[in-house]
Amino acid sequence: MATAKRDLQAGEMLDGEGGYTVWGKLLPAETSLRIGGAPLGLAHGIKLVRPVKEGQSLSWSDVAIDTSTGAYRLRQQLEKLQVPAN
């Protein structure tokens, strides 16, 4: 999951892996899905829609992401595969 390196403000653009805004935190897929975690791999060039404190992991609701990209659609497909069958 993308995790804030410092306090971030709404409107800031994330710079992804190796940048100054976020770092990656490993979590089990079940946990990440449950909390709606935004993956580090998609946290480049996307805008925050609300403030995030240093050390807080970002959720999909924290960012404005282009849902028409192939990378986003693939991630959504992968998340659906992780949902346990009832």
What pLDDT was estimated at residue 85? 55
Cα–Cα dist 86/75, whole Å: 22
Q: What is the pLDDT of residues 2-24, one digit of tens each?
A: 999 999 999 999 999 999 999 99
Cα–Cα dist 10/65, whole Å: 14
What pLDDT was estimated at residue 79? 86
Q: What is the pTM of this model?
A: 0.85
Query: DSSP assignment, residue 25?
Result: -
What pLDDT was estimated at residue 82? 81
Nearest to 10 by CA among 60, 64, 49: 49
Residue 44 confidence (pLDDT) above 90:
yes
* Angle made by CA atoms 28, 16, 31, in degrees to the nearest 5: 15
Q: What is the pLDDT of residues 57-77, one digit of tens each?
A: 999 999 999 989 999 999 889
Indicate the domain borders of the chain: 2-81
State the CATH architecture for 2-81. Alpha-Beta Complex (3.90)
